[in-house]
Amino acid sequence: MRAGLAGWVFAAPALLVIGAFFFVPVLGAFAVSLTDFDLYALADLRNLRFVGLDNYRELLRSGDFWSALGNTCYFVAAGVPLSIGASLATALLVNSRLTLLPAFFRTVFFAPVVATLVAVALVWRYLLHTRYGLINWGLGGLGLRPIDWLGNPHWAMPAIILFAVWKNFGYNMIIFVAALQSIPEDLYEAAHLDGANGWQEFSRVTLPLLRPTMMLVGVLTVAGYFQLFAEPYVMTEGGPLQSTMSVLYLMYEQGFKWWNLGSASAIAFLLFLIVLAVTALELHFSRRRESA
Amino acid sequence: MGREGEVIATLLPQFERLHPDIEVRVQQLPWSAAHQKLLTAFAGEATPDLCQLGNSWIPEFAALEALEPLETSVAGSSVVRSADYFPGIWQTNVVEGRLYGVPWYVDTRLLFYRRDLLAQAGFPSPPRTWSEWRQMLAAIKARVGPDRYSVLLPLNEFEPLLVLALQQPEPLLRDGGRFGNFETPGFRRALEFYREAFTNGWAPPVENTQVPNAWEELGRGYYSFYISGPWSIGEFKRRLPPEEQGSWMTAPMPGPEGPGASLAGGSSLVIFRRSQHKPEAWLLLEFLSSPAVQRRFYDLTGDLPPRRSTWEAPELADDVYTRAFREQLERVKPAPRVPQLERIVTEMRLMAARVVHGDLSIDEGTRELDRTVDAVLAKRRWMLAREAGR
């Protein structure tokens, strides 16, 4: 009993901070999501109406929410494998004994992660420019027609994905490099003695030992990519034809542009539930594979 | 806010000499953050005494009951005379019959065009009507070929379509701003014209982020007409090389039948209801509204004054570029004065982009817009009904 009390006392500061800065705001936001809090309510709280689950019902009925969710899922489904693939590939390259100047390349690949998003987005907007952009100039050299990257609703999301992958892959690369360096060298030696070729070494030694790291990276990246916001905010403002409108962007517009804080809170909760469900699924599958 | 916030510091010493007992403290806000900061200030009960407010925000702050009505102050003032102001601009400050601000500077949209390209296409003067404008747009497009255009109408700007819509006889909202009114013949005519500009290849289907330097592109002849505001005069003067300076000019907006209306934009000076220094704030407002100070303000910023008497100054009356603005200002109309205006014009722009893209017909687009706008105005209807019941 006494030991238990001591434990609570030691944990109390952390719990208080978490409670004050996490649980209270979250509960507050949930309460707001059950009301029609808007500009009029800001003027006078008597203009606030309790609407139950109406905000949620309306969102699930509105085309805007579903198309934003579709765009976000597209971004996650294409962006996460590309991003993790790029991270793993560059990690293997940087970690290879044949690579000259590994520290230099590690820095170069990590540089986009620390570069200011708004600044590099401006550079990318020029790279992607239909008439003056370097990318279309390269396509022209290959005899392809120029693509209106940020103006065509079919190409805007691929352009955003390309940009986001380029911006983010360095972070996971560093995690992979650390994991690769922790794989004991003698396992590769043993595999080599058993006559394994390069691909077999990679698929039978490297990948299985990377699995815990892979799971960590997968969970973090999926959760991060579901919160797509800054890239479309600075590159396309959600356009053209709302094709790069993400769930979080929709929430921002509802909350901070139109001051429909009730509806915005409801979007935040729906996104939270979606990310929670997807993460739970990921953990479930990776555990099953481990036990299999 | 923005440039005005920097410039006002040079005007204030004169005011403080006239009123030694009043000390003015200026807080500058960047335009991009101003709206949010002012709402936060309202929520935190830290609003300023006197403030510059974009006139499209006035209905919103009036709905918050954040602004002091100014009718009585104006009635007793020898400086602020409402008849001297352009009526369309003055109206933007009147919400539900009450006056909440005094115009500080004006901002309206009209045509910037290439005189030389228009002349080459056989037109010595700019268009006065839509049908003249259509002929010019078609003639220029025929001359410049597939890679160049006649006019720039960025798909992510609502202003060009809003100007065309304001030229129509029907208001954009009906029943005192309770419902959308976009299925009218007038709005459909405006939307039709807008769509036509894209389907005929007169306007490139782009957003303004893809034309980062709209002024130089006009100089290059990528298009010959550009709908923009007073700030573009300075931009053209600064950005175009000397040999191209004679090639551009301004003209009032053409209308469906004759000279057309445009949007009454700009900034007003407002006094917040919570201010502890209302008489002093009003003195400063009067000072900034006097024609002499407005002339200096124009010299410093290039912002166009809202009073006819200020426009008699030679630097404004004799300027070839501002002349079209002087004419246009007699024909400006306010956008609907409801707090949800920005949301409504955004929905209008999104719908128009889908119509241009071919996803929606004019019928479907206007019907859907009315439905969306009705939903946006639902709370406003509830508020108005409750007020009426009280």
A contact set with B (CB within 8 A):
36, 38-40, 42-44, 47, 125, 129-130, 148, 150-151, 153, 235-237, 239-242, 256-259
The DSSP secondary structure of A210-261, one letter per residue, reads: HHHHHHHHHHHHHHHHHT--HHHHHHTTT-STTTT--HHHHHHIIIIIS--H
Query: What is the model's pLDDT at position B5?
Result: 86
Query: What is the model's pLDDT at position A292?
Result: 58
The domains of chain A are located at 59-291
Q: From CA B244, how far away is CA A40, in angstroms rounded?
A: 51
3-state secondary structure of B158: coil
Residue A214 C-alpha from the chain's centroid: 15
Residue B138 C-alpha from the chain's centroid: 28
Look up tokens 């600064």; give the residue: B238
Kindly tell me if the per-residue pLDDT of A286 is higher than 90.
no
Q: From CA A207, how far away is CA A91, in angstroms rounded?
A: 13
pLDDT digits (tens, 9 = 90+) for B321-373: 999 999 999 999 999 999 999 999 999 999 999 999 999 999 999 999 999 99
Strands (E), B242-347: 248-251, 262-263, 265-271, 332-333
State mean pLDDT over B195-222. Answer: 91
pLDDT digits (tens, 9 = 90+) for B294-303: 999 999 988 9
Among B339, B350, B359, beta carbon nearest to A39: B339
3-state secondary structure of B63: helix
Query: What is the model's pLDDT at position A43?
Result: 84
Residue in B closest to A45 by C-alpha: B64
Tokens representing A119? 């600044």
Which phi and psi (to 5°) does residue B95 adopt? -125, 125
Q: Is residue B349 part of a domain?
A: no
**Start-to-end Cα distance in chain A:** 41
Kindly tell me if the per-residue pLDDT of B236 is higher than 70.
yes
Rg (CA), chain B: 22
Residue in B closest to A256 by C-alpha: B36
Q: Percentage of residues in chain B with pLDDT exceeding 90?
A: 86
Helix/strand number for chain B, H first, E second:
18, 13
Q: From CA B155, how far away is CA A151, in angstroms rounded?
A: 10
pLDDT digits (tens, 9 = 90+) for A235-254: 988 878 899 999 999 999 99
Query: What is the model's pLDDT at position A288?
Result: 82
Tokens representing A47? 């203009």
Q: From CA B377, how far away is CA B342, in angstroms rounded?
A: 12
B43 close to A (CB below 8 A): yes
Tokens representing A260? 């429909």
Q: Is residue B116 part of a domain?
A: no
**Burial class, A144, CB count within 10 angstroms (exposed 0-12 / middle 13-18 / buried 19+):** exposed
Please name which of B95, B36, B69, B63 lies closest in space to residue B382, comparing C-alpha atoms. B63
Determine the Cα angle at A257 with ends B154 and B361, to 5°. Answer: 45
Cβ proximity of B251 and B66 under 8 Å: no
Q: Is residue B97 part of a domain?
A: yes
**Burial class, A145, CB count within 10 angstroms (exposed 0-12 / middle 13-18 / buried 19+):** exposed
Q: Is the dihedral of CA B198, B199, B202, B206 positive or negative?
A: positive
Among B207, B340, B343, beta carbon nearest to A151: B207
CATH code of domain A59-291:
1.10.3720.10
3-state secondary structure of B178: coil
Q: Which chain A residues contact residue B205 at CB under 8 A?
A: 151
Query: What is the model's pLDDT at position B209?
Result: 78
Among A42, A125, A241, beta carbon nearest to B209: A125
Residue in B closest to A149 by C-alpha: B210
Strands (E), chain A: none
Q: From CA B63, how far away is CA B217, in angstroms rounded?
A: 41
Query: What is the model's pLDDT at position B126?
Result: 96
Q: Percentage of residues in chain A with pLDDT exceeding 70?
A: 99
Q: Which chain B residues contact residue A123 at CB under 8 A?
A: none
3-state secondary structure of B51: strand
Contact check, Cβ <8 Å, B379/A36: yes
Q: From CA B20, how far away is CA B22, in angstroms rounded?
A: 6
Kindly tell me if the per-residue pLDDT of A67 is higher than 70.
yes
Query: What is the model's pLDDT at position B212?
Result: 77
Contact check, Cβ <8 Å, B156/A239: yes
The average confidence (pLDDT) of chain B is 93
Tokens representing A185? 């060298």
Which phi and psi (to 5°) does residue A174 adopt? -65, -40
Cβ proximity of B88 and B219 under 8 Å: no
Q: How many domains does chain B have?
A: 1
Kindly tell me if the per-residue pLDDT of A7 is higher than 70.
yes
CATH of the domain at B301: 3.40.190.10
DSSP summary character for residue A144? P
State mean pLDDT over A98-105. Answer: 87
Strands (E), B233-390: 248-251, 262-263, 265-271, 332-333
Kindly tell me if the per-residue pLDDT of B55 is higher than 80.
yes
pTM: 0.88
The average confidence (pLDDT) of chain A is 91
Q: Is residue B159 part of a domain?
A: no
Determine the Cα angle at B251 with ends B247 and B252, to 5°. Answer: 170
Q: From CA B148, how far away is CA B223, in angstroms rounded?
A: 6
Boundaries of domain holding B297: 2-108+264-318
Q: Which residues of B22-31 are buried (b: 16+ CB within 10 A; e: fewer)?
A: eebeeeebee
Which phi and psi (to 5°) does residue B185 adopt? -55, -40
Contact check, Cβ <8 Å, B353/A239: yes
**Long-range contacts, A211-216 (Cβ 8 Å, 24+):** A211/A286, A211/A290, A213/A175, A213/A176, A213/A179, A214/A84, A215/A282, A215/A283, A215/A286, A216/A175
Cα torsion at A83, A89, A92, A94 (round to 10°)?
Answer: -80
Tokens representing A233? 């905010």
pLDDT digits (tens, 9 = 90+) for A106-163: 999 999 999 999 999 999 988 998 888 899 999 999 988 888 888 888 999 999 999 9
Size of interface A-B (CB pairs under 8 A): 61
Tokens representing A50? 């309790």
Cβ proximity of B6 and B29 under 8 Å: no
pLDDT digits (tens, 9 = 90+) for B128-156: 999 999 999 999 999 999 989 999 999 98
The backbone region for A259, taken as left when phi is positive above 0, alpha when psi lies in -120 to 50, beta otherwise, is: left
Q: Is residue B24 part of a domain?
A: yes
3-state secondary structure of A59: helix
State mean pLDDT over B159-180. Answer: 96
Q: Is residue B274 part of a domain?
A: yes
Q: From CA A34, how far away is CA A263, in angstroms rounded?
A: 8
Residue in B closest to A254 by C-alpha: B343
Query: What is the model's pLDDT at position A1?
Result: 58
Kindly tell me if the per-residue pLDDT of A290 is higher than 80.
no
Q: How far is A129 from chain B (nearest CA, A)?
A: 7
Q: From CA B369, how far away is CA A262, in angstroms rounded?
A: 23
